[in-house]
Amino acid sequence: MGCGCSSLASCCGKSENNGPMSKPHNDENEEKDEASDLPSFREYTLEQLRNATSGFAVENIISEHGEKAPNVVYKGKLETQMRIAVKRFNRSAWPDRQQFLEEARAVGQLRNCRLANLLGCCFEGDERLLVAEYMPNDTLAKHLFHWESQPMKWAMRLRVALNLAQALEYCTMKGRALYHDLNAYRIVFDDDANPRLSCFGLMKNSRDGKSYSTNLAFTPPEYLRTGRVTAESVIYSFGTLLLDLLSGKHIPPSHALDLIRDRNLQMLTDSCLEGQFSNDDGTELVRLASRCLQYEPRERPNSKSLVAALIPLQKEAQVSSNELMGVPDSSAAFPLSALGDACLRKDLTAIHEILEKLGYKDDEGAATELSFQMWTNQVHETINSKKKGDAAFRRKEFQAAVECFTQFIDVGTMISPTVFARRSLSYLMTDMPQEALNDAVQAQVISPVWHIASYLQAVALFSLGRENEGQIALREGSVLEDKKNTES
């Protein structure tokens, strides 16, 4: 998802700098740079978002602080296969639903390739949720402070700085200059490893909530005095992010400014970056950070001048973010297991054979619950329905299997993802792909990280002629299967 502009193009096209990467400011460019292929902002039902996140499953939490965060963020998937991030606010956060809706709608009008854009919201009862584009490649904090395979390269750090400045410039141009608690956790990476600014920070965490939750050492001095966020406060936070990028650590601005005044830049610079940049480039980034961190707000630069200053520093503009970050290209071919390949070919016989061999191994806890409830007549009947369904499934009598599994599911005593998977394949075998898709989605609601649920969604989508969505589900199944095999 995005506006289709090149990863290092001056996305908003408003810089007056005539360097090699700037674009003239005109309406045509501005139109191209808007993420026009995204759906318009809409309202979602709580049921839709519950299904998308598998019942707000713990496995789908992507907040940095997990369940303990005041507002939890989940990853999810809509019926269209579009992946989303869902921010669920604390129940007391926005008591006035109209105010919440108006704020969300205003942010939802923004569409830009430098943002993880807001797609919609939900405000049923006392629930308040935001829905945004899902960014699969983690946060800047993860890549900068907690990297595993390789530290972030200098060229990529400069790209992050430019993309972020462009995002702020776009928001300012659209009348949304205020961003709450800008920090390394608010910058996320899309499928192509391009950095984007999370739209969630364009709204407060609550109607009356604080705009800064970070350590006071990183808070703009004027916010400490007045408690108000201004456009200049956001630039101050941008300066702290430039220090993060330069040092690879979260250094308090006061300490960094002392090092700069003492010309002790070596202590300020990440040792992992040795030999990757010239003294002039390092000095320019330090100069920019110093300007952003001026005590007096009026002495700080605006976002437009930041973009103009950062464009000439981009030395590897033609290298993709995937390559710089060491992240696999999302459009490249990916290896498929026997099951994944069978799904791609829509070889239902091969899928049946694999599901039959798997049995109920992935139904964790299901057998225990059934044995515990054996004493009721209803459960006896339920177990018999399941047994008859399994026998019909084994004999490839798929119409009978559908009927028996339906009896088992309708009783509702026991929830089994495998039964939904088996009925899904039985529906496919009897040329009922929409019903098959519904069951495969339900299997994933029950078991959020079960690869077979994604694979069956892929086959059903292929059968419905929804090729692109099928490919997305197939890739997701492959990723989940690979993760499962790695962990086992």
Q: State yes or no: is 126 an active-site residue.
A: no
Beta-bridge partner residues of 196? 188
Count of CB atoms within 10 A of residue 407's CB?
A: 16
CA distance 348 to 428: 8
Which among 386, 461, 371, 464 is positioned nearest to 420, based on CA atoms?
386
**What is the DSSP annotation of 217-267?**
GGS-HHHHHH----HHHHHHHHHHHHHHHHHSS---HHHHHHHHHTT-HHH
Please list, in sequence order, all residues whose beta carbon lies within 8 angstroms of the beta carbon of residue 143, skipping any fewer than 6 positions away: 152, 189, 325
**Total residue length of the chain:** 488
In whole angstroms, what is the distance from residue 220 CA to residue 228 CA? 10
CB-neighbour burial class of residue 67 (10 A; exposed 0-12, middle 13-18, buried 19+): exposed
**DSSP H/E element including 83:** strand 83-88
Q: Which of 181, 191, 363, 439 is catalytic?
A: 181
426 vs 439: CA distance, rounded Å: 10
Which residues have C-beta within 8 Å of that of residue 340, sequence separation ≥ 6?
455, 474, 477, 478, 481
Q: What are the C-alpha distances in Å from 331 to residues 6, 19, 302?
A: 15, 31, 36
Known catalytic residues are 181
